[in-house]
Structure formats: C-alpha cells, structure tokens
Chains A and B, each alone.
Chain A
Amino acid sequence: MTSSARIFFVGGLTAYRALIHWLSPWIFIPTLVVAPIFQILLFVYIGRSAGVQSDEFYVIGNAVQYASIPCLFSMTHAIAGERNQQTLAYILVSPAGRLPLFLGRALPVIGNAMLVAAFSLVVSALILGLDIPASAWAPIAIVILISSFACTGLGLICAAIGLRVRETAVLNNVIFGLLLIFTGANVPIDELPGWMQAISDRIPLTHGIQAAREVVDGASLGDVSGLLATEFAIGVVYTLVGYAALRVMEHESRKRASIQIA
C-alpha cells in the first residue's frame, strides 16, 4: 500500500475512531438513533395537523436531511478535534500529503451518515406503516450515498472554519437548522420564497431528497440521474472549497502561531 493510500484509509479510520467520541453508545444511541426517529415523527404529525403533504414526504425528507448531523459534526471533530487533543500541531508539521490526510477522514463520516439515514428511514417507515417498494431500496442507498458525500463536503468547510473558530458545536447546529429549512425536507421548495429557492438549489441534500422521493414513487435511477448528478457536482464543489479552506486556515494558523490557541 502506498504511503498516501495508507494515510487515506488507515489514517482516516484511526483518526475517526480516536476523535469521534460520538461513537460511544451513550452518545450514538440518543443522538443518531433515537433523535432522528423523533424528528421524523415530529414533522409527520405537524404535517398531519397542518393537513399538508403525506407521511412519506416527511419520512424521506427528514431521514436524508438527518445525515447532515454525522456529516457536519463528525467531519468537524475529525479535523478540528485534533486541537482539543493537543495533537493538531503534530499533524500539521508532518510531511504527510494533505489531500489523503484530510479527505481520508471523510470516508468513515460518509459511511456513518449513510447508516444513520438508512436506519431512520427503515425504522420510521415501519413505525408509520409506509409501503416502500423493495425495488426502491437499492436506488435509495445510492441516493443516500451521494447525498452523504455532498454533505460531507459541507462538513469539510465547517472543519476548516473549526481550525480558527472555537464554537464549532454552535456553528454545526446553525448549519443543521438552515439545512432543515432550505433543503425542502419539510417544505416543498416551490413553496419557499424565490431567494430561498435560489439558495436551496446550491446546497447539499436538496437534490438528494428530491431524488429519494421520486425513487420511492417509482422512478428508476435513470429517471433521477439529473438530480443525482447535480447533487454529486455540489458535493465535489463543496469538497474542493473545503479542502482549499483547510489549506488556507492551516497557512493562517502557522502565520499567526494560533494552531493550538484559536
């Protein structure tokens, strides 16, 4: 295995296991197992009370949108968490290639996000008695994979900000709240004001959620390929911006000698 591949796969997994204390069952179960199901139930019942949209609309929207929690929080912890462990300076002073060093940490994040979204979708569908055709599950898995990748790109940007900003938990929660409003998880995009629709089109998860809904309604992967391509492209852009931001923040931290004290 080449050095870069080793840093990408082994280093990424090691950093993930070491830094994401959310993997403890005491945190994982309340935040990533129980909470998404209750978020889904909350919006399903608000939808029933308001008399708008079907249960399926909210189940799919919120299950995919909840992937953003592991994407944002884990990605930020996987990089900015080094500072809390007093190890950031050692990482940044090492000659390791930055691309495998930073992006390798994203791979387990994407896997965890997929697991959370898929689990919430399956369990809430069972609780609410939704009939999701068996043929839809494989395409849904692909939609969730692409959506998780796109949102991890956003997480990478948050991680970069986390190299200079102390309050990453507040930042991640604010972004989660904005995604809840703007991605169309609960409100159809065409019911949002024009300026909000313009933002919705340019952020992760919007197209993924739309694709997942269409797949459950019987569309094939080919039918939603345009949506998936857009979601993937958004993910690539956010990942590139995130990587560039990490390099800039690293440079700034060195220049200002603020790696450990930011």
Chain B
Amino acid sequence: MSPSQLAQRTRGPKVRHEGNSKSAPPSPWAGRWRRGSPLWFRVPLAIAIPVVALLVAPELKNSSLHLYTEIGIWAAVAVSLHLVLGFAGQLSLASGAFLTLGAYIGARATGFWHWPGLLTVAVTAVAALVLALAISVVIFRARGLHFALLTAGISLVAFGVIVNWQSVTGGSGGMSTGGPLSEGGAPGPLTLGPIEIDSAEQYFVAQAVLLSALLLGISILMRRKTGESWKAIREDDVLAASVGVNVPREKQIAFVLSSVLIALIGVFHAHWVGFVSPESYSFAKASFEPVAMIMIGGIGTIFGPVIGAAVVVGLPEMLRDADEASVLIYGILLLLVVMVAPRGFLGLVKSGLALLLSLGSRRRAPADDEGAGPPPEPSESGPSQLAGKTS
C-alpha cells in the first residue's frame, strides 16, 4: 500500500465524524446522506413495507407474487452474507452451505418428523451456530483468495454430502416438505407458534416482514460499536487492531451471525418452494449469485444487496422470452455492470451525488475530493482490495 493510500484510509473515519457533527451550510445534505436516515424514520419505514405488502398482495398475479417472494428471499440471503462480505470485508462463498443446512433441516423436520415450526427454527439456529463456530475457529487463519477458496470448499463439500447421503437427503432426487414422495404429500405449511404460513400471499407478506426486520436490525447494528469495528476491519485490519478492535473475534461474530441468519432463511426457502433438491442449492445458485447480488447492488451499503437481488433474480425472468440466449445476455449484462459500475449500482449513485455536491459547494473537505476523484479508490464504501494489502 502506498503512503498516500494509508493516509487516506486513516483520514476516512475522522472526516466522516466532522461531516456528522457540523454539517457545513454549503452542503447541508452531505452529513445527513452519509449518516443515513434517523431511527424515527427507519422504524416506521420498516413497518410500512410489510403493511404495503399485505395490502397489495391480493391484487398481484400469482406469477408476480412468486417473483417478488423469490427476490425477497434472495435479498435476505444477500443482506445476511453482506455482513461478512461487505462489512467485515471477507469474500465468503460459504452461504450455500448454510442455506443448504437450513433448507434440509426444514424439509426433513416438517415432512418426516412433523416438528412444530418453532422447534425447527431453534434446532436450525443451534446447528448453524455450532457449525459456524467450529468453522470460524480455523477459517480466519486464511485471507483473501485463500479465504474465498476455503469457503467455496465448504459449500462444495456440503453439496457433495446432500448428493451422496441419500437415506437422509433424498440424494439428487431431493425431498418434499410434505413427506416421502410415495405418500404423495402436499408441501407442509410453515407453522411458527400461532402463525401458519401456507399460501403464496402469506409467504409474500412473511418475506416482506423478514426482509425489513433484517434490514432494520442490520442498519441499527452498523451504527453501534460492532458495526463500526467491522467497517474498520474492512478498511484495514492492522490499523483496526491497533486502535483496540479485537479483529479475530469481530470477524468470527460477523461470520457466525451471517451464517445463522442464512440457515434460517434456508428453512423459509425450503417451505416456500415445498421441495429441496441439490439443484436449488448448487454452487452457482446458492454461493456465487448472492455475491454477485452484493457486487451489482453496491458493496458496503445497506440497500445494495436488495437492488442486486432484484437484478440477479429479476433479469432471467425478464429475459425468459429470449430463451436460449437468456443466460448469455445475463452474463453480458453482469460483465457490463461490473465494468461500468465496479462499486455497484449504489456506488454509482453515490459518486454521482458526490459529484453534484462538489459542484454545488465551494467549501469542500479534502476527503470528498478523493472520494469523487477519477481514480476509483474505494475509501468509504466498498472494501479495499483484499489482495492489495500485501504489497
């Protein structure tokens, strides 16, 4: 890392503070925009989204309900994964493993053991917690590409297990939440205490509740000490350690929390689909696509993964008419998005806003110029180069 980069990184958080405390008259929105909306705005917003979902649900066609629910579920996966990837700055491809874990426990428990939903959720959470803890003890000894491969390895091993352990997972044929295929059972509902989620509309509303609760929780967490520590680790873990952040512990917390959340979403996903098979949790689908969602939406932002999920899940749906070429068009669009906006959609919006603000104000903090300047060195949003830390 060059000295100027280091200086820029060390300056980052300090400038952000200035922006918060005394937002100078020429750019009153700069501080507000950086800090995000206040709590009195976000809590009602988080309540309003599910309410709107509840109101519009009867109006929607079945196909739209399906699409929006799928987007919402994958957005929740991406938002959870983003804790490790975007905030703690570790490229984790392990999401597939935990999604699989949750989905298979969910399908097995409802379909074969007839557990109540709350027990399933509790067991999944504990299983994911134990597994993630065990993995996190050793996994953070690797960094950068090594970390990515190690987590990819965990996902691929999980895939191998569900294909081969036929007596429990149904092998490549999969299994239904309605029990053995011979009994021809319809998919079982997800019962959480008094609530029973069964119809497409109910899943749609439940998904909205889940996603907005997750977003609210994370947005609050990110303003607390934990969140700030994670951002510090993302920017520079040596520097973070030097100011008293317990780097290994914080990374572990981020990984375990994200893994447990993804496993719980897995339970939900399995019940919504009604059927689990290795195909739904392949490496490309369950491990890589969430990473792509985060990248496309904008890494380091709260809403980025949601936008990314809408793009990644929605695009193939929109391109369905293109038939054979649809995956090709998807690949080309993905490439173009990364080329045009390497920091994601929200990164593009942010630099655009920064540019507008810099045009509108004469008094400018030096760090803002760096942020909006031509070399797209991600200093505030967007984790720093993983591999770049070595030189």
Answer yes or no: do A and B interact: no
